[in-house]
Chains A and B, each alone.
Chain A
């Protein structure tokens, strides 16, 4: 019973490049959440998606960041024209439904911008 999968686990990008982070939720889960953890800080909510819908993107930066969760395939968090301040750990979590209280986290993707 595979848990939440994220890839890549580590990603290095130069300033100005694009970063694509992937998240496959647990089997049977249709709700995905993305969180960002800056060094020595707690996780901060970015976006909440269901299949083909963005439900809450109140934590997403207004520019350069986008997320999708297509009907088929993983959820993608895309960061365009990365800057040094984007260096962080990005966690994906999934849950089976809005009423479910627990969110299961993936191992995270550590993005380093050089």
Chain B
């Protein structure tokens, strides 16, 4: 079973509008972390935001917020006031903290976001 599922291969958004990128996850571990990374066309992986499974509040970082719905196992990324520079691939990832010795991230297949001027 896929640990991270991103069902939107591509998304378009008008500049200055908000956009939500979907992510669902699958784990039986009680303790885990959820991440979003941005990969522009240059190829590097840029960390955007983190949500711990026990965090009471949704994470926010500037224009990025994470809509964490634990019961639904979803961790959608919301980008407000989109900018042309937001055009990139976006990856959702998960780390299962409880697994001994394991520290790796599981990544989804990504969503390509295009911001339209």
CB-CB under 8 A for A55 and B109, given A102-B47, A105-B44:
no
Task: Please tell me if B117 contacts chain A, counting CB pairs below 8 Å.
Answer: no
Q: Flag whether B43 is at the interface (Cβ < 8 A).
A: yes
* Residue in B43, B44, B50, B106 whose beta carbon sits within 8 Å of that of A45 in the complex: B106
Q: Distance in Å from the Cβ of A38 to the closest Cβ of chain B?
A: 11
- Given A91-B45, A105-B45: A56 and B101 interface contact (C-beta under 8 Å): yes
Complex formed: what's the CA distance from A98 to B100 in Å? 10
Q: Which chain B residues in 1-46 approach chain A with CB under 8 Å?
A: 4, 33, 35, 37, 43-46
**Of B46, B95, B108, the contact of A101 (CB 8 Å cutoff):** B95
The answer on a CB contact under 8 Å between A43 and B45 is yes
Nearest CB in chain A: distance from B76 CB, A: 17
A43–B33 alpha-carbon span in the complex (Å): 17
Q: How many residues of B contact A (CB 8 A)?
A: 24
Q: Pick the contact of B44 from A44, A55, A101, A108 — CB < 8 Å?
A: A108
**A43-B91, A101-B52 as given contacts; A89 in contact with B104, CB under 8 Å:** no
Classify chain A: how many residues form its interface, as a range: 20 to 34
A41–B46 Cα distance when bound, in Å, is 16
The reply to whether the CB of B107 lies closer than 8 angstroms to some CB of chain A is yes
Find chain A residues with CB under 8 A from B37 CB: 105
Assembly CA distance A33 to B50 (angstroms): 18
Q: Tell me the minimal C-beta distance from A110 to chain B in angstroms.
A: 7
Query: Could you mark each residue 73-97 of chain B with 1 if its beta carbon is under 8 Å from any beta carbon of chain A, else 0?
Result: 0000000000000000001010100
A101 touching B107 in the complex, CB below 8 Å, given contacts A56-B102, A89-B43: no
Q: A residues engaging B (CB < 8 A)?
A: 31, 33, 35, 41-45, 48, 55-56, 58-59, 89, 91, 93, 95, 98, 101-108, 110
